[in-house]
Amino acid sequence: MKHRIVLIVALFFFCTVLGQLSYSIPEEMAPGSIVGNVAQDLGLDIKRLESGKARVFTGAGTACIELNREKGVLLIKDRIDRELLCRQVMPCALHFQILLENPMEFYRATVEIVDVNDNPPVFINNDVQFNISESALVGTSFTLDTATDLDVGVNSLKSYFIKPSDTFSLKMNGDEDNRNVEMVLNAPLDREKTDHLSLVLTAVDGGVPQMSGTMQIRVTVLDFNDNEPVFLQPVYKASIKENAPLGTLVVKVTATDADHGSNGQIMYSITNVANEIRDLFLINRGSGEVTLNGKIDYEVSKQYQINIRASDHGGLTGSCKLIVDVLDLNDNRPNIYIMTKSNVISEDAKPNTAVSMIKVEDVDSAENGRVHCFSENDDRFILRSNTANFYTLETDNELDRELASEYNITVTCSDEGVPSLSSSVTLTLHISDVNDNAPVFDRSSYEAYIVENNSPGLSIFTVKATDADWNQNARVSYILEDSSVNGVPVSSYVSVSADSGVIHAVRSFDYEQIKDFRFCVKAQDGGSPPLSSNVTVKILVQDQNDNAPQVLYPVQTGGSLVAEMVPRSADVGYLVTKVVAVDVDSGQNAWLSYKLQKAADRALFEVGLQNGEIRTIRQVTDKDAVKQRLTVIVEDNGQPSRSATVIVNVAVADSFPEVLSEFTDFTHDKEYNDNLTFYLVLALAVVSFLFITCVVVIISVKIYRWRQSRILYHSNLPVIPYYPPRYSDTLGTATLPHVYNYDTCRTTDSRKSDCKFGRAGSQNVLIMDPSSTGTMQRIQSEKSILDEPDSPLEVRISRYYYHCSAEFDCFGLSMVRFQYLG
């Protein structure tokens, strides 16, 4: 620049010489700035300039410069823009004339406008966009727009540079005026790393100070399918419960593809060859969710391996493996298999006899498949296990067919799963019989009655025994055990029907001969060996009124003359005699009553209905015959009743001769009567002796016991009433002492008489057999020790019979029996 100014000054001097002005000024000077001193340079006086009205003439052009006449200098009138004035033309000068008048003259003047660097390089587009594939090769060049700089010369555009320059560099071709700028790729692009580049191209000029212009270059890196899909995990693991419903999400696999767009769009698929897996599992092509598409069963497969492929649209693929573990659910019941079993077992089987063998299986695993079995019966059976899943059902106790002949044994097996599943099986076991029960009679002993005079073969009654065993072991037969009754085999009395137990009478029984008898019946079953049991049967023969009363006194001797003497002075109620009769029947059948038959008009006598005493009922008068003949009918109380008749001769006289005259046939029978009397007296003496002996013994025993009981029982406590309370005899007999009761019982002929009892409330008549004829007085006198001299041998006892019976038992008099009449 210094140089240039010097050059301009030199030129100015040259021009001055030629009469021509030449200046050089930079553009953009401020208005009023001095361009040059014209007066001095032209050698003109200021006055000349004023007088010549010196002025600048520019012709058509605009006058940017004016002349100040007073100072003789040229001044900048308007701002001068070289670029406007000259564009790119160099050099740029203003040509004008300075005109003077008086005289008219002119001078040429040239003002050169020197460029100032006042314009920066400018790009037309300050923002450009490139789309470059990431696959572009290194060295590929891209043409860029150039910039323009209005300035010229050194101030014009000088160079370009680009930033950052690691990916692209600049390459410039051509000369300065027609420059071609290219951007060259000098490193490979990777969209996956950088998909956008931002570059700045800067153009600088050569001015001082330097000015620059920039252009933004945006490079979009276009994708190229250079990446395959990659799964997040090479191996996925999942588990799923068996029996999970369709559509259950197993797992979601995810693959990524670094590529963009369709190159990065992934499709999932299952690539297993096996159809099974492709049927069971389904993968969502887009999302990678693997879902269940079939029924999954742990017992079929415990694990599945699924190969999954991910592919992008560019055809690149990646793969992973999915391992699905199936979780066991307790979905299988235990299966019970009966390996062997017996249907029947004997009731005498020992404990621990095996009945059945059982195997159990559960296809589930772990605790779902661990099975325990137990039997639901009582303590009679037990399930034992020696080996896992094998069980033996054994008896654990004694069996008894009679208690239970059949068992339904339920074996239940359950696994340990939660909830537990179980199954059960029922075994029916029959218990076979063993002959272990003897027949049992339905009563411990039997008593049966049969009325005497039965027809032989009559069935008396039936014994019955039952046997708890079964079938043949329970078939009972009845056998009559051998024994004898009164020295006769019992089989001649009764027979027992083996099948039915019916007891038949073999003969006709006579109560007067046998009142009861016992025998044994055996019941035996059909087992082997047979079992049996006994029962005692007592047959009681019942009385029938089959015997008429027998008159013992007075004795009826055919044609004999026995008479009772009645003194004529006898009082009313004088006891003439007593008719004594017995009836070998018992009970009512032996209950006798006495009546007079054919009583005379003015009867002198009457007979006691019950005691047979013949007494006078009025005073004897002279009209009464000496010889009286009374017919007494003795009747028993049976149905129908039987009777006997006795004729009693009575002599009504004061002296024996009187009688004799009446009973003339009395004497020649005297020898016979003496003999008879002797025997009767003898018999009466023996009986009386026995009677008195017994009475003494009984009294001693009684007194002894009475004392004992007084000691045992406290003073006033009432003794159990052995005997009826004292009572009055309706017939005027005195009250009977207790002892007498016994005596009468004892005195009774054990073969022919009984203690007899009437209905409740009534009294029973006990008749004693005096077995004598004319010695009544003596009996009575002997009986006087019993404080009852006048008492006839007739006793009433009450219905308190039981003790009487016991007393007799003490004496072993088993045949004495009491019986209710009625």
Give the nearest distance from C-beta 406 to ligand NAG in angstroms.
5
Give the nearest distance from C-beta 749 to ligand NAG in angstroms.
34
Closest to ligand NAG by CB, 308 or 463: 463
Give the nearest distance from C-beta 430 to ligand NAG in angstroms.
10
Give the 3-state secondary structure of residue 800: coil
Give the range of 111-119, 352-360, 526-534, 790-798 binding ligand NAG by CB under 6 A.
526-534
Give the range of 287-295, 448-456, 510-518, 528-536 binding ligand NAG by CB under 6 A.
528-536
Q: Which residues pair with 268 in a beta bridge?
A: 310
Give the nearest distance from C-beta 408 to ligand NAG in angstroms.
4
468 binds ligand NAG (CB under 6 A): no
485 binds ligand NAG (CB under 6 A): no
The amino acid occupying position 370 is R
Give the nearest distance from C-beta 501 to ligand NAG in angstroms.
16
Q: For 105, list phi and psi in degrees, rounded to 5.
A: -155, 160
Among 389, 534, 542, 763, binds ligand NAG (CB under 6 A): 534
Closest to ligand NAG by CB, 532 or 771: 532
Give the nearest distance from C-beta 465 to ligand NAG in angstroms.
11
Total of chain residues touching ligand NAG, rule CB under 6 A: 8
Question: H helices within 713-783, ranges in order?
Answer: 738-747, 776-782
Among 239, 248, 428, 735, binds ligand NAG (CB under 6 A): 428
Whole-number Cα distances in Å, 229 to 256, 275, 278, 631, 724: 5, 25, 22, 155, 130
Torsion angle defined by CA atoms of residues 280, 284, 287 and 292, in that order, rounded to the nearest 10 degrees: -30
Long-range contacts, stretch 42-46, CB < 8 angstroms, 24+ apart: 42/16, 42/98, 42/107, 44/72, 44/100, 46/70, 46/71, 46/72
Give the nearest distance from C-beta 735 to ligand NAG in angstroms.
50
CA separation for the pair 291, 289 (Å, rounded)? 6
Give the nearest distance from C-beta 681 to ligand NAG in angstroms.
50
Q: In what order do the strands lie in the sheet with 502-505?
A: 459-462, 502-505, 494-496
CA separation for the pair 235, 321 (Å, rounded)? 5
Give the nearest distance from C-beta 404 to ligand NAG in angstroms.
6
CA separation for the pair 240, 247 (Å, rounded)? 12
520 binds ligand NAG (CB under 6 A): yes
Give the range of 3-11, 245-253, 527-535, 560-568 binding ligand NAG by CB under 6 A.
527-535
Q: Around Cβ 471, how many Cβ atoms within 10 Å?
A: 10
CA separation for the pair 640, 657 (Å, rounded)? 45
CA separation for the pair 535, 616 (Å, rounded)? 60
Closest to ligand NAG by CB, 67 or 521: 521
Closest to ligand NAG by CB, 49 or 503: 503
Give the nearest distance from C-beta 473 to ligand NAG in angstroms.
17
Give the nearest distance from C-beta 534 to ligand NAG in angstroms.
3
Say if CB 578 and CB 538 are below 8 A apart.
no
Closest to ligand NAG by CB, 520 or 603: 520
Closest to ligand NAG by CB, 403 or 697: 403
Closest to ligand NAG by CB, 481 or 749: 481
Give the nearest distance from C-beta 770 to ligand NAG in angstroms.
44
Give the range of 28-36, 530-538, 624-632, 751-759 binding ligand NAG by CB under 6 A.
530-538
Q: Which is nearest to 752 in space by CA: 453, 610, 552, 595?
A: 552
Among 58, 125, 408, 557, binds ligand NAG (CB under 6 A): 408
424 binds ligand NAG (CB under 6 A): no
Closest to ligand NAG by CB, 534 or 542: 534
Closest to ligand NAG by CB, 524 or 589: 524
Closest to ligand NAG by CB, 506 or 531: 531
CA separation for the pair 491, 485 (Å, rounded)? 9
Closest to ligand NAG by CB, 381 or 740: 381
Among 182, 192, 481, 512, binds ligand NAG (CB under 6 A): 481
Q: Which residues pair with 130 in a beta bridge?
A: 219
Give the range of 348-356, 385-393, 531-539, 633-641 binding ligand NAG by CB under 6 A.
531-539
Among 533, 610, 763, 819, binds ligand NAG (CB under 6 A): 533
In the window 316-335, what residues touch ligand NAG (CB under 6 A)? none
Give the nearest distance from C-beta 536 to ligand NAG in angstroms.
9
Say if CB 506 and CB 492 are below 8 A apart.
yes
CA separation for the pair 684, 553 (Å, rounded)? 13
Give the nearest distance from C-beta 488 to ligand NAG in angstroms.
17
Closest to ligand NAG by CB, 97 or 534: 534
Say if CB 719 and CB 810 are below 8 A apart.
no
In the window 772-801, what residues touch ligand NAG (CB under 6 A)? none
Q: What is the DSSP string of 92-155?
A: EEEEEEEEETTTTEEEEEEEEEE-------EES-SEEEEEEETTPPTT-EEEEPPEE-S--GGG
Closest to ligand NAG by CB, 346 or 708: 346
Closest to ligand NAG by CB, 408 or 708: 408
Say if CB 278 and CB 325 are below 8 A apart.
no
Q: Which residues pair with 449 in a beta bridge?
A: 540
Q: Is the dihedral of CA 726, 729, 733, 739 positive or negative?
A: negative
406 binds ligand NAG (CB under 6 A): yes
Residues shown for the chain: 822
Give the range of 15-23, 79-87, 532-540, 777-785 binding ligand NAG by CB under 6 A.
532-540
Give the 3-state secondary structure of residue 406: strand
Q: Is the dihedral of CA 191, 192, 193, 195 positive or negative?
A: positive
CA separation for the pair 622, 370 (Å, rounded)? 130
* Contacting positions for ligand NAG (CB under 6 A): 406, 408, 428, 481, 520, 532-534
